[in-house]
Chain A
Amino acid sequence: MKAIAPALVFFALAGLVPLVVRDPFLLDSLILILLWGAAGAAWNIAGGYAGQVSLGHSMFFGLGAYAAALAGTRWGLSPWIGVLVGAAAATATGFIIGYLSNRLRGPYFVLATIAFSQVLLIGASRWRGFTAGSEGIPVPFRAGFWTLGIADKRIWVWIILALAVLVWLVELYLERSRRGYQLAAVREDEDAALSLGVPARQLKVAAIAVSAALTAVCGALWAQYVGFVDPVYVFSVDISIRFALAAILGGLGTALGPFLGSVLVTTVETYLRAQFGGIGAGFVGIYLILYGVALIVMVRFAPQGIVGWVGARLRP
């Protein structure tokens, strides 16, 4: 109980904010914090708990976003079905990638995931007949919960919060279950784990698939919330890095870490966008420079992230 108290306080506060705050800008920031936090936490399942560091996770995010958008525009289905389709497609892709790149470690795995996400990026922007090509797809707004056409940002906070808690629960499972311990053993020393009879390959593939499915759900809800899917953005390496950054800042392989990382990353970005967005659009790039520098500084001086850093100081 003591270990999860900070997370419970964090989620409770996030859930209570819409009751008091009406300001759309603040609510929007909160939604994005929770959404990028959930995506960072989903990345963390593969990158943190399983040690399968990917810089191609945007492919799952993009699959989810496209599934939700296409479900509405092309087949007239509810975006909720799009969420499921996206999650299923991402799970399948995750399985394929997990199996194909199982032997690869470290930088090789990173390169393979980047290559996969680039293939999907090119596919989405060139297959005009199906995806509308590089112009992207506007997601139609159809009012109602079933069609996810919700104007009230307070309801969005709660929807995304539910997603965030779901991903967090999966992370918690990995911290407390037998499978989670086995996965940690594989991450720390795969050969030693194998020699003890831990099914390393299955565990790694499963972790990637679960991570992929949850990332796709984030992408689908993001598409519905923002209302536009642009292939160059949703499949970009930048988005993959954003997931990783939230998890690394907050603490790799910690359940609450990615959410705390997202608070930092998203707040700085929204602030700078609001501050400089109007004047020189070029200034928006400054937050990305900060991202890059933060990444270099963080992995060098505090590779255990916020949670690890605070945790080390609280312990007697």
Chain B
Amino acid sequence: MILPQLIVSTILLGGIYALIAVGLTLIFGVMRVVNFAHGEFLMLAMYLAFWAFALLHFDPYLTLVVSLPLFFVVGLASYRFVMRPVIHASHNVQVFTTVGLSIALQNVALVLWTGDSRFVRTDYYSMVVRLAGAVLNLAQLIAFAVAVVFTAALFAFMRWSYTGKVMRATAQDRDASALMGIDTDRVYALTWAVGITCVGVAGVLLSPIYPVYPTVGLQFVLIAYVAVVLGGLGDMAGALIAALVVAAVEVIGSYVVGTAWKEVLYLLLFIGILVVRPAGLFGTRGAEALGT
């Protein structure tokens, strides 16, 4: 029976994609910035897990505890020095700022750690769990569980905490929220840092499953873009569902046409959405024309 396997693989993969996509869509929703450097922060987190494992024999799940506050601080710092000066600039300036950040980070990794693929080979690397006729990798299962808990915590934070409400208010109308006495600069800093923390966690979770190299971010972030646009840029719940859709396309696509062409499938899906319904499945029409 192949169907349970496909379903389980889809859900596991979708959980991890969701965590990457949620950070990206949060940053877009509140700050109106498409973060082209998102994948590079993911790459840095994967390297963190690799080096902690190689040098200090830290298990990736132990590194997770370190990576959470660390990437929050990295997020705050990169906001302060790179993003804050251009937060009110035009879209093109913001695009090139994050693209510049992406090239710089990618090549810092290349110069420091070479282009070799590196792999965190834990003891439980090839351990599998059998469940309802499906076989799953243990690391993937843990990654999924942590990603779900983390995403749920983020949703709860956005929904019920005062800070979360302030962030959502800023997303809805930045001028009105500034008039209500909300310090939008602090909100942006926090949003950016939380978004980066999401990939900081995701990168560490991915490290026991995928090899890391300086340009690894691109493949994951492309998937995240697909999910984010499909769900409607800025829509966190939409991103979750869309992440599952993208994962389904990837899993079923690999099964039907083979792994070599699976990327083409979701890229075509991406182009199709951009052309037919750029506001995403659940978004409002006209959001794609945010030229003003």
Contact = CB atoms under 8 A, between A and B. Distances in A.
28 contacts: A100-B271, A101-B274, A104-B274, A105-B288, A106-B95, A106-B291, A107-B94, A110-B34, A110-B95, A111-B270, A115-B271, A122-B261, A122-B263, A122-B267, A241-B99, A282-B115, A291-B103, A292-B104, A295-B96, A295-B97, A296-B82, A296-B100, A296-B101, A296-B104, A299-B86, A299-B97, A300-B86, A300-B89
A190 B225 contact: no
Main secondary structure of the interface of A (DSSP, over half): helix
B111 A285 contact: yes
A244 interface: yes
Contacts of A300: 85-86, 89, 93, 97
A208 interface: no
Interface of B: 34, 36, 82, 85-86, 89, 91-97, 99-108, 110-111, 114-115, 218, 222, 225, 229, 260-261, 263-264, 267-268, 270-271, 274-275, 278, 288-291
Nearest to A296: B100
A118 B263 contact: yes
Nearest to A297: B100
Contacts of B95: 53, 55, 106-107, 110
Interface string A231-242: 000000110010
A221 interface: no
A122 B93 contact: no
B213 to A, nearest CB: 13
Nearest to A126: B260
A299 B111 contact: no
A46 to B, nearest CB: 13
A140 to B, nearest CB: 28
Given A104-B274, A122-B267, A292-B104, A286 B111 contact: yes
Contacts of A111: 34, 225, 229, 270, 274
A285 B109 CA distance: 9
B267 A119 contact: yes
A297 to B, nearest CB: 8
A181 interface: no
B202 to A, nearest CB: 20
Contacts of A286: 107, 111
A106 B55 CA distance: 43
Nearest to A117: B267
Nearest to A97: B271
Contacts of B268: 119
A282 B111 contact: yes
A292 B99 CA distance: 7
Nearest to A102: B275
A96 to B, nearest CB: 10
Contacts of B288: 103-105, 108
Contacts of B99: 55, 241, 292, 295
Interface string A295-310: 1100110010000000
B108, B264, B268, B291 pick with most chain A CB within 10 angstroms: B291
B218 A237 contact: yes
Given A116-B271, A237-B218, A105 B289 contact: yes
A53 B92 contact: yes
Contacts of B274: 100-101, 104, 108, 111-112, 115
B181 to A, nearest CB: 29
A122 B264 contact: yes
A264 interface: no
A74 B268 CA distance: 28
Contacts of A283: 111
Contacts of B291: 105-106, 190
Contacts of A293: 100, 104
A292 B101 contact: yes
A294 interface: yes
Interface string A124-161: 00100000000000000000000000000000000000
A107 B108 contact: no
A47 B18 CA distance: 32
Contact of A299 (B34, B93, B115, B218): B93
